[in-house]
Amino acid sequence: MTIEAALRVGVIALVAVVLRWLAARAITRGVAGMRRREIGSKRVDARASAVASVLLNLTTWTVVVIAVLLALGEVDVQLAPLLAGAGVAGVAIGFGAQSLVRDVLAGIFVLIEDQYGVGDIIDAGPATGTVERVTLRSTQLRDLAGTVWHIPNGTITRVGNKSQNWARAVVEVVLSHDADVRAARAELRRVADAMAGEEPWAAAMRTGAEADEQGISALTPAGVTLRLVVDTEPKSQWQVERELRLRIKEAFDAAGIPFEVHHP
């Protein structure tokens, strides 16, 4: 290798190092901005670290591969056979790893868009449960029966996150047609307001959000359905619903308000 070729290889290496440093700096600033925008998020640090790691690795490999190819060209290495062989190998690997690539790309968007994280309760289609682990390739969650599901990210076509930011407790009661509906609605409001002023329910119910007593949601030959909606903190909706049902049952019994009666 001539001195001139060696100098050109050195310049290529220097440019590659500088480009890698500039890219790393840009990624670091972008991740810092993500942390600032989502300062209240409990999992922003984990997401930011994962995204930064993926982007840094991708940038490093891209810069290194291009630099190596340019350097080989400067030392008169014939790149055509090498590129042809790499192309054939790439096609073969691509066909065999299509699902893996799809899973990884989907995992990247899960992290970047914060669709869900560890501890969230999600409906992922095949299963519903608590997320225990999220990687670029798959999501691991545990359902109510204790079964652990390992779901490739690329197979998840839609996700319902039941515990992101806030949730909603929805309670419906079916009354007899003979019941005093106005009195029943008043009892629903009273029960919800009483719970909102007691601990630990005051912490579980969303601060500043009043219970929404929506009145009659259905009217059928079987009975009159009333609906009560309460905004809650994430993952608190189920325990709030259970306590509301208990208190409503006790309040209606005390007030003599009859529930739906099924006749044989």
More confident residue, 109 or 243: 243
Contact 224, 216 (CB under 8 A): yes
pLDDT, mean of residues 196-205: 89
Residue 94 neighbours by CB under 8 Å, 6+ apart? 101
Query: How many other C-beta atoms lie within 10 A of the C-beta of residue 164?
Result: 17
Residue range 103-126, pLDDT digits in tens = 888 888 888 788 888 888 999 988
Class of domain 167-255: alpha beta
Q: Domain locations in the chain? A: 3-96, 115-161, 167-255
Note the CATH number of domain 3-96: 1.10.287
Residue range 47-90, pLDDT digits in tens = 677 677 778 888 888 889 888 888 877 777 676 776 666 666 66
Q: How confident is the model at residue 17 (pLDDT cuts 50, 70, 90)?
A: very high
Note the CATH number of domain 115-161: 2.30.30.60
Calpha distance 149→131 (Å, rounded):
9
Tokens (6 digits) for 15: 């440019």
Contact 237, 169 (CB under 8 A): yes
Coil vs helix vs strand at 29: helix
152: left (phi over 0), alpha (psi -120 to 50) or beta: beta
Tokens (6 digits) for 263: 């006749």
Q: How confident is the model at residue 9 (pLDDT cuts 50, 70, 90)?
A: confident
Rounded to two decimals, the pTM is: 0.63
Residue range 144-180, pLDDT digits in tens = 899 999 999 999 989 999 888 889 999 999 999 989 9
Integer CA distances (angstroms), 51 to 33, 44, 141, in order: 13, 10, 21
